[in-house]
Each structure stands twice: as C-alpha cells, then as structure tokens.
C-alpha cells in the first residue's frame, strides 16, 4: 500500500463493514491518512465485491469506490480463534467501525459495552438502519426503504408525480459521515479522559436530519411540504426552465435580482406590476408569472440567456448530465477526480482540502485477505 501522510496519520481504524455505510466511513478515514484494516469473511468477503460486474481484480467498481486505501484481512468471526484474532488487532487500534446486522455483535461478544470494557481506549462505532433504541432497533434496512420510511422520498419529485427516491445514497453515505464526525469527537474527548466510548448512528437518524427543514416546519407551523421538482418553495422564479436547445436553472433569490432578471428578459414592467413586485407577490401569482417566463425563454438557446443573465449578475447554470458535469473545467481545476496509484482508473476523492491540498487516494481497494500476513499473528 502507498502510505501518503494525512491529518489522521498514526490513527488505526478497524472496519467490519459491508457494502456502503460502514465502508464509506472507513474510506473517509483512509483518505485522511489513517491505517484502516478491513476485516472480511474468508468466503467472499464484503458483499460489495460482487455488487455488479467485475471491474478490476474480480471486484466491482462499487467495492473500489468505498474501499480504496485499506488493508484487507480475513477472519472467521464465528470461531473462538477468529474472535481472539480480532481482539489482537483491536488492541492496537483507536477506532472500530461496523455496520453489522443488529444483534450480531452481541451474539459474537463484540457489542460496544463488551469491547470498551476489554479495550478502554477504543472508540467503538456502530451503525444501524433504524437506530440503537426503539421498537424497530433490531430491524435491518436499506437506502430506499429508509428514504421511504423517513418521509424523505415524499419531498422529492414532480408535484403531480409519485414520491421519488433520491438517486444518491444520501442516507448510507451520510451515516458514514456522521460516524466519522462522532469518532473524531470521542477521540478528542479521549485526550482529556484517556477513555474511548461508543458512537451510534443510523440511516433513519441521518434521513431525519436531511428532512429537518421540512419536518420542523410541520411540527412547529403545521406546514406540510410540497414537491417542487427543481423549484424552491420560498422564491419565484427559482427553478429549471427550457431554452430553445436545453434546460437550465435560474435562481432569483431576492427582489433586487428580479429587477435584473426582468431587464434581461426585456420585461421592465414586471417589477412594478403589483402581482410580481415583491417575492411574496410572485409566490401568490407564481403560475401566471412562470407561464410568461417560459414563453420567453423557449425562444432563444440557453447559452445566450445564460450569457446575458451572468452579465447581469443573475445566478444560473445549465442542467448537466453526468458526462457533461465531470468534463467541466471547474471540476478539473478542483482536482477532486483522482487517478488511483498503480491502477488505470480514477475515483472521486474527498470533498475537502487542508491548506489548499486535497487528501490523495493512497491505493486501490485491497484484494481479499491481501494483508493477512502483515496484520494477523499466528
């Protein structure tokens, strides 16, 4: 493995992760410089290795995305010898991360209380689908189920269409992020107390956090959220429109911008029209205004409109597909797309930099059991 120093260099993380949430937390730690030892079943390892067609070395692209920079050791946790082998690794570790099925850690004697009693300095991180307490604590779950259960799907999609699952795994990956934040918090506390502790996170809690703006509005004001497709519930115009050759987004976030927007569309009468003068007026007469805007914008290519809008200071952007988005000079300048050392493919790195430098992906995902010799004792 390539060991490029990072801000978490010197930290050792043990990951018992499957598929996404747990492995994503491990990948964050690895990119930040920690030594991440991924513990896998001897037979097949992480299910994500087979999640889709073989990409490199017999493993899927998904496995490469979420397991870069790690070491892999194989341990049979159903055997007493395997459990002791795990304890031997954890004894020298700072953090343990898992998203094992609820109930399994306790069956194996690897629950948080037992592990922290044996390894007092350990920061023990457990992830679940529905949370560590409550009537559904023992129930497993997956991304689309949590989006549906939490109400997150109900706020996505077209107003006249069905609820829609977000295309990204925001609950899985968000749970991995919260877990890392929690682990770093307890590591800071350990500097004072000398003791670790237990971090608990779940997909449902993550989903409810993403839902909070809408959920809190319902609890406190009795307002049910409406779906707005690409639009915004509080500003008009603030959504996607079609130019003559393709869609683009326009964000008019205040009345000053609306004056500029109206000038670009050669409708200086709009800001003085009682129906459209202020944002609240435009919200009350949204359908009428949007119909007029659409009728004008469709007459010219989006590039022409965007040039004029940008010159006037009105925020706008083309709606890209994936290839278009990744080919943008701005994306290239950020350097977030990184070549994996020793490989012929690229992956997306972490979305943050330190002192102007983005943490580098240090190595490809490991082969199953590739580092048994380095990390397991006879």
Please give the pLDDT value at position 2. 43
**H-helix segments, 313-377:** 322-326, 329-334, 372-375
Closest CA to 99 of 43, 152, 47, 156: 47
pLDDT one-digit tens code per residue, 47-88: 999 999 999 999 999 999 999 999 999 999 999 999 999 999
Specify the number of domains making up the chain: 2
Do the beta carbons of residue 183 and residue 120 sit within 8 Å?
no
Provide the token pair at 255: 């009345």
Q: Is the pLDDT of residue 135 over 60?
A: yes
**Position 228 in a domain:** no
* More confident call, 300 vs 1: 300
DSSP letters spanning 105-153: HHHHT-SHHHHHHHSTT-EEEEEESS-SSSTTTT----HHHHHHHHTTG
Which residues participate in catalysis according to the annotation?
A: 232
Laid out side by side, the sheet with 238-242 consists of 238-242, 247-251, 316-318
Does 261 lie in the same domain as 151?
no
**Are 63 and 49 within 8 A, CB to CB?**
yes
Instruction: Kindly state the average pLDDT of the residues 360-364.
Output: 95
Both 254 and 359 in a single domain?
no
- Check which CATH number belongs to the domain holding 350 and give it: 3.40.50.10540
Predicted confidence at residue 3, as pLDDT, reads 43
Closest residue by Cα to residue 343 from 135, 17, 65: 65
What distance in Å separates the CA atoms of residue 260 and residue 244, rounded to the nearest whole number? 21
pLDDT tens column, 229-269: 676 777 899 999 999 999 999 999 999 999 999 999 999 99
Which CATH number goes with the domain that contains 268?
3.30.1540.10
Mean pLDDT of the chain: 94
Is 18 found in the same domain as 122?
yes
122/263 same-domain check: no
Section 88-112 average pLDDT: 96
Report how far apart, in Å, the C-alpha atoms of 290 and of each of 231, 282, 303, 304, 307 are: 11, 9, 20, 19, 21
Band the pLDDT of 378: cuts 50, 70, 90.
low
In a domain, 304, yes or no: yes
**What is residue 92's three-state secondary structure?**
coil
Read off the pLDDT band of 106 (50, 70, 90).
Answer: very high
Res 99: pLDDT: 96
Q: Is residue 367 part of a domain?
A: yes
* Residue entry with tokens 């000053």: 256
Domain that holds residue 248: 238-318
- Give mean pLDDT, residues 213-241: 85
In this structure, is residue 227 part of a structural domain? no
Residues of the chain above pLDDT 90, percent: 89
Q: How far apart are the first and last CA of the chain?
A: 22
pTM for the model stands at: 0.90
């Amino acid at each position: 493995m390539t060991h490029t120093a990072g801000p978490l260099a010197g930290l050792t993380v043990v990951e018992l992760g499957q598929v996404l949430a747990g492995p994503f937390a491990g990948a964050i730690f690895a990119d930040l410089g920690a030594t991440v030892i991924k513990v896998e079943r001897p037979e097949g390892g992480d299910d994500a290795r087979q999640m889709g067609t073989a990409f490199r070395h017999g493993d899927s692209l998904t496995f490469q995305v979420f397991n870069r920079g790690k070491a892999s050791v194989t341990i049979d946790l159903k055997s007493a010898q395997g459990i002791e082998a795990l304890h031997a690794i954890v004894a020298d570790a700072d953090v343990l991360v898992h998203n094992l099925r609820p109930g399994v850690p306790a069956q194996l004697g690897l629950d948080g209380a037992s592990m922290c009693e044996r390894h007092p300095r350990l920061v023990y991180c457990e992830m679940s689908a529905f949370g560590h307490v409550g009537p559904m604590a023992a129930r497993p779950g997956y991304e689309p189920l949590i989006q549906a259960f939490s109400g997150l799907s109900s706020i996505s999609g077209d107003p006249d269409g069905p609820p829609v699952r977000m295309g990204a795994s925001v609950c899985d990956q968000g749970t991995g992020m919260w877990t890392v934040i929690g682990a770093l918090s307890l590591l800071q506390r350990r500097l004072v107390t000398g003791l670790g502790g237990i971090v608990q996170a779940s997909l449902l809690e993550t989903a409810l956090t993403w839902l909070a703006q809408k959920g809190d509005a319902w609890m406190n004001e009795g307002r049910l959220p409406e779906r707005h497709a690409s639009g915004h519930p509080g500003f008009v115009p603030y959504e996607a429109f079609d130019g003559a050759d393709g869609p683009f987004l326009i964000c008019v976030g205040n009345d000053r911008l609306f004056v500029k927007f109206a000038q670009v569309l050669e409708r200086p009468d709009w800001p003085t029209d009682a129906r459209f003068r202020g944002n609240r007026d435009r919200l009350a007469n949204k359908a009428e205004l949007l119909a007029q805007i659409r009728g004008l914008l469709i007459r010219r290519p989006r590039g022409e409109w965007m040039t004029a809008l940008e010159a006037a200071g009105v925020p706008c952007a083309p709606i890209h597909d994936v290839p278009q988005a990744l080919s943008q000079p701005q994306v290239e300048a950020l350097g977030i797309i990184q070549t994996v050392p020793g490989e012929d493919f690229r992956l997306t790195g972490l979305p943050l930099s330190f002192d102007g430098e983005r943490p580098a992906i240090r190595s490809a995902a490991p082969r199953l059991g590739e580092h048994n010799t380095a990390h397991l004792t006879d």
